[in-house]
């Protein structure tokens, strides 16, 4: 049961983290429009494989801090800082005009390799998952057995793949709605990460 919960937590957090229009999902949209849906799926698979490593690194970092009692409060404070920064980032993004998909250059070459490369260059991913895993640890929802970690990691990769597949599958609709979609989703994510920062702060004060 615990394995299933960790898989679901990984899936949901990854799906939500990839939800807002970004270079990854807009590239999946562009590949689907300009090449084919199978090529976009290959791109999604490549990107998701990198997510496996990124989430695992984030969990190892959280686990290291957790194993040192002196870092427990620091862990919570780090979570607050990360979520405040994420909230501010998403809020700023909601105020910007998103670049329409037409302006994103079509990626040439093997779509799977392009997915690997672009996902590797996504420097936002590891800090995001560090914040998520820290918050889940503070809340007592994340257990650091190897089985549960693998469940969370695999769930995260599949969450990313599912979201990218959705962008590829509904590419034409998303291309038309991308600007308004970006504004609304970024605002929602800004509110959610702000709430997580507040909850973590309450946990510290109540200690």
171 neighbors 40 (Cβ within 8 angstroms): yes
198 neighbors 64 (Cβ within 8 angstroms): no
Using the 8-state DSSP alphabet, how is residue 170 labeled? T
pLDDT at residue 16 above 90? no
9 neighbors 155 (Cβ within 8 angstroms): yes
109: left (phi over 0), alpha (psi -120 to 50) or beta: left
CA 135 to each of CA 5, 79, 163: distance values in angstroms, whole numbers, following the listed order = 16, 6, 22
151 neighbors 6 (Cβ within 8 angstroms): yes
pLDDT digits (tens, 9 = 90+) for 72-85: 666 667 767 777 87
The structure tokens listed for 184 are: 């609304």
Averaged pLDDT, 180-201: 68
Query: How far apart (Å, rounded) are the C-alpha atoms in residues 45 and 112?
Result: 7
Average pLDDT score over the chain: 79
Label residue 5 by pLDDT band (50, 70, 90).
Answer: very high
187 neighbors 91 (Cβ within 8 angstroms): yes
∠ CA 157-120-68 to the nearest 5 degrees?
A: 70
Task: Indicate yes or no: pTM above 0.85.
Answer: no
The structure tokens listed for 170 are: 């509904």
pLDDT at residue 160 above 90? yes
Query: Looking at residue 178, what is its pLDDT?
Result: 60
Q: State which H helix or E strand residue 118 sits in.
A: helix 111-120
pLDDT at residue 105 above 80? no
pLDDT at residue 159 above 90? yes
């Amino acid at each position: 049961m615990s394995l299933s919960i960790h898989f679901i937590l990984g899936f949901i957090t990854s799906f939500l983290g990839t939800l807002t229009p970004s270079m990854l999902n807009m590239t999946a949209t562009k590949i689907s429009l300009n090449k084919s849906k199978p090529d976009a799926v290959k791109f999604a698979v490549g990107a998701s494989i990198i997510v496996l490593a990124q989430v695992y690194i984030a969990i190892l970092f959280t686990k290291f801090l957790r194993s040192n009692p002196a870092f427990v409060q620091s862990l919570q404070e780090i979570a607050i800082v990360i979520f405040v920064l994420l909230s501010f980032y998403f809020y700023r993004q909601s105020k910007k005009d998103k670049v329409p998909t037409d302006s994103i250059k079509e990626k040439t070459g093997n779509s799977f390799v392009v997915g690997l490369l672009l996902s590797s260059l996504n420097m936002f991913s590891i800090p995001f998952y560090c914040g998520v895993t820290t918050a889940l640890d503070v809340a007592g929802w994340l257990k650091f057995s190897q089985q549960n970690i693998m469940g969370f990691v695999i769930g995260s990769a599949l969450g990313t793949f599912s979201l990218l597949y959705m962008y590829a599958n509904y590419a034409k609709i998303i291309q038309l709605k991308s600007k308004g979609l970006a504004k609304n989703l970024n605002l929602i994510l800004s509110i959610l990460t702000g709430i997580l920062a507040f909850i973590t702060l309450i946990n510290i004060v109540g200690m």
